[in-house]
Amino acid sequence: MSEDLQCPVDHVKVNENKVRVVALLVLLLGAGFLLTGYNFIILLLLADFFVRAFNMQKYSLLGWLADVFVKQFNLPNKPTDRGPKRFAAGMGFVFVAAILAAIIGGWNILLVPLAAMLCIFAFLESFAAFCMGCYVYTGLQKVSKLFGKE
């Protein structure tokens, strides 16, 4: 990881293994949407990203399923800060909202690239513990400094 990389921090710990299982579930649902075109999948993802981004994790269906898988497969608790994960969930919410807007607007040309990017980012988090959110956050911090807002 680059020394210049910044991540939002809130000093609350979550289980990284659970986060990675949630990312795997997002990947599977995103791939399911790409293969089937079922719009319900996008609504499910939108709701789940919303509750995770706005700190209502206890209402997350994917979080609940991840808890089941973590227990079933005896995955250890690997503490990590929640801040970057919430920021990434917020980014996921924006991505999925853009996919929904493309569906509603009939902009089919945007659906595949947006859904594919969502799947790529979920894949990277799930299998490589690579959080694109930290890179976006760092970029946003640099842009805000350019405009004199810190």
The two tokens of residue 150 are 């810190």
Rounded Cα distance, 91 and 81, in Å: 17
Is pLDDT of 148 > 70? yes
Task: List alpha helices for the chain, DSSP H.
Answer: 16-36, 39-53, 61-72, 82-105, 108-128, 132-146
**Over pLDDT 70: what percentage of the chain?**
97
Is pLDDT of 1 > 70? no
- List pLDDT tens digits, range 60-110: 999 999 999 999 999 999 999 999 999 999 999 999 999 999 999 999 899
Q: List Cα–Cα distances, 101 to 34, 97, 104, 106, in angstroms.
A: 16, 6, 5, 8
Angle, vertex CA 99, rays to CA 97 and CA 102, nearest 5: 110
- List pLDDT tens digits, range 125-138: 999 999 888 888 88
